[in-house]
Amino acid sequence: MSYLVLARKWRPLTFEDVVGQEHVTRTLKLAIQKQRVAHAYIFSGTRGVGKTTTARILARALNCEHGPTPAPCGECTNCKNIISGSSFDVLEIDGASNNRVEDIRELRENVNYSSMGGKHRVYVIDEVHMLTRQAFNALLKTLEEPPKNVIFIFATTEPHKIPETIHSRCQRYDFRRISTEHILGRLEHICTSEAITFERSGLLLVARKADGSMRDGLSLLDQVYSFCQDSITEKEVRNVLGLVDIEVYKAVMHAIAHKDPAPVLKAVEDVLYRGFDLHEFLLGLEEHVRTLLFVQVPGILESSRIELNVDSPQSAQEYKEQTELFNERDLLRMTELTAKAENDIKWSAFPRFVVETTLLKMVFMDSSLSMEQLMQAFTNGDADPGTEVLGRIADPQKKKSEPSAPLIPASPVGQGPYQTGTIALPSSPPPTAEPVLAPEPSPAREKPISAAIEVDDSASFVQQNDASQSIDIREKWPAFLEYLMKERPNIASFLSLAYIVDASDTAIDVRFPFGLNFQFTEVTSKDVRDDIVKRLKAFCAHPFEVRITIENEPVNDTPKNDYTQHLGKNESSIENEIEKEPIIKTVLDMFDGKIVK
């Protein structure tokens, strides 16, 4: 006798044997008990979920010599003939190859014949959505007024392709996708009955690979058992089904957490070297990230309805340890990257590069921050020094009285050549400053318009300074403008147009010539004047009160700014150096050009 595959050998023979479709089998059993069996049914669902099997069980339940009964005996002649497929009262028709209108006309003629010993004639049309529209139209009249004791069962994976006129004449039952837990339980039962030793983790991989189809699960089990012989192990199941080892994903996630790109690129190389499919690798990585994301949810491991790649307490502990390296927002962004790569790899001429760039994006991805963390950083100024985003966010009060922190390199993380930089934040917030707003220019006033810039802590500094700590701000002002030109060139250029009226150890008066209202307004705006005070304090290591005014009318003897004079002295020397440059001289001679001053 030829070998019978497990999918056929273990096909359900009763309604109780059908796994995961209790909502259908219970309804059919009650209909048989109450003698309310309809004349036409539509069984819809994905492949391998039990549509045709349930149709055969229903046919046996109606034609059993002890029935109609919801529990056919399986021993009578009618039951045996239906099981073997030799019954004249149960006809299974392939809708894909018998989809013409002539085939349906022939079926209509055969419908009128009486049964051959059974109580009902049952027509099972598989993949009925493959029928042409003309064939469906030819079937309408028969469905509306069928002969006595004739039952039609239409099985389909695409019910939306069946015309509404057919739908309205049938009872429709939607078969659900079978859960991994139900498939695993069935596989364990079959292995135990067949005396096959197995590792539960190996059967769990088979159940997941089945993707909701019991028939696919049994076919995969047959394939795995042929390779593994007497014992089914997880390692051998991965080799047979082409599944990447879980340790590879753990190593990849560890490298991502430590910003080390070398191991992730090595992982892609190893996957290709061992002959695995890159699409399967992405699917496994996506499932691993999903498990890390869900493990963070309290009580999720105790739920049997959430299918996770966790098969033991030890595995659960390993996932919990690894999930501490990431937050939920980072894992969600990783799922988006893997989903995009899974779609891009189908159309790419170089799929390896798609996978590599996706992993590198994960490696160099910045850590996500919640709104609460941002608000706390604004409020308290307390932030993680390793977070570059928070390092760039300055507290508004802190910004007025403290110079910006320098950029410092971070210690290397990981063993690759790549390093990250962080911005150091101060450990405690400095005293706050309350600047006085500058009044708007008023042409009616006779005295020069002034804009006072004051800092609250200047008085305390002045009281502590003595004569030995006096600073000549006049001498330092040109150097300060040069320093400011590097940091804030627009503000420095505006200030260079003003001149010093008066200066002391604690204050400086700067005045703009008549007509420079725009420059005066820009310099005396709230943010700019706070920045000037802050930078002047940092440059001189001494607090100063800065007062800025503008002339109400032209003054003939307006003194020149020392900084402007300094620039004037340098301009001639710079131009002389430019004229002496050999390349520039060659260009000038070639094009008969000149230097515009």
Are both 287 and 255 inside the same structural domain?
Answer: yes
Q: Tell me if 391 is assigned to some domain.
A: yes
Q: Tell me if 565 is assigned to some domain.
A: no
Are both 522 and 548 inside the same structural domain?
Answer: yes
pLDDT for 309: 66
Question: Can you give the CATH number for the domain in which 186 is found?
Answer: 1.10.8.60
The reported pTM is: 0.58
Could you tell me if 178 and 213 are in contact, meaning their C-beta atoms sit under 8 angstroms apart?
Answer: yes
Are both 47 and 67 inside the same structural domain?
Answer: yes
Q: Tell me if 127 is assigned to some domain.
A: yes
User: How far apart (Å, rounded) are the C-alpha atoms in residues 220 and 228?
Assistant: 12
Enter the tokens of residue 160.
């939306």
Q: Tell me if 135 is assigned to some domain.
A: yes
Q: Tell me if 113 is assigned to some domain.
A: yes
pLDDT for 576: 60
Q: In Å, how far are 475, 531, 546 from 503, measured between CA atoms?
A: 10, 20, 9
Are both 53 and 87 inside the same structural domain?
Answer: yes
Q: How many residues does the chain have?
A: 597
Q: Tell me if 204 is assigned to some domain.
A: yes
Could you tell me if 360 and 261 are in contact, meaning their C-beta atoms sit under 8 angstroms apart?
Answer: yes
- pLDDT per residue of the chain (597 residues) written in tens, 0 to 9: 478 899 999 999 999 999 989 999 999 999 999 989 999 999 999 999 999 999 999 999 998 888 788 998 888 888 888 888 888 888 898 888 888 888 888 888 888 777 777 788 899 999 999 998 999 998 888 888 888 889 999 999 999 999 999 999 999 999 999 988 899 999 999 999 988 888 888 888 899 888 889 999 999 999 998 888 678 888 888 888 888 888 888 899 989 988 888 988 999 998 898 888 888 899 889 888 888 888 877 776 666 566 676 666 777 778 888 888 888 888 888 889 999 998 888 888 898 999 999 999 988 887 666 566 666 666 665 544 444 444 443 343 443 334 433 333 333 333 333 333 333 333 334 444 444 444 444 443 444 444 444 434 433 333 334 434 567 777 788 888 888 887 888 788 888 888 888 888 788 888 888 888 888 888 888 888 888 888 888 888 878 888 888 888 776 655 655 555 544 444 455 556 555 566 676 767 766 776 665
Number of domains into which the chain is organized: 5
Enter the tokens of residue 103.
């085939």
pLDDT for 24: 93
Are both 233 and 263 inside the same structural domain?
Answer: no
Question: Can you give the CATH number for the domain in which 48 is found?
Answer: 3.40.50.300
Q: In Å, how far are 48, 231, 277 from 205, measured between CA atoms?
A: 18, 15, 17
Residue 329 lies in domain:
246-363
Q: Tell me if 466 is assigned to some domain.
A: yes
User: How far apart (Å, rounded) are the C-alpha atoms in residues 351 and 524?
Assistant: 58
Are both 299 and 226 inside the same structural domain?
Answer: no
Are both 159 and 50 inside the same structural domain?
Answer: yes
155 contacts: CB under 8 Å, gap ≥ 6 = 43, 44, 51, 52, 55, 124, 125, 126, 127, 128
Are both 146 and 18 inside the same structural domain?
Answer: yes
Look up residue 76 and give its amino acid.
C
Question: 421-423 and 171-174 as β-strands: parallel, antiparallel, unpaired?
Answer: unpaired
SS3 314: helix
Are both 210 and 192 inside the same structural domain?
Answer: yes
Are both 130 and 221 inside the same structural domain?
Answer: no
Are both 268 and 340 inside the same structural domain?
Answer: yes
User: How far apart (Å, rounded) are the C-alpha atoms in residues 571 and 457?
Assistant: 40
Are both 262 and 307 inside the same structural domain?
Answer: yes
Q: Exposed/middle/buried for 113, CB within 10 Å: 0-12, 13-18, 19+?
A: exposed
Q: Tell me if 372 is assigned to some domain.
A: no
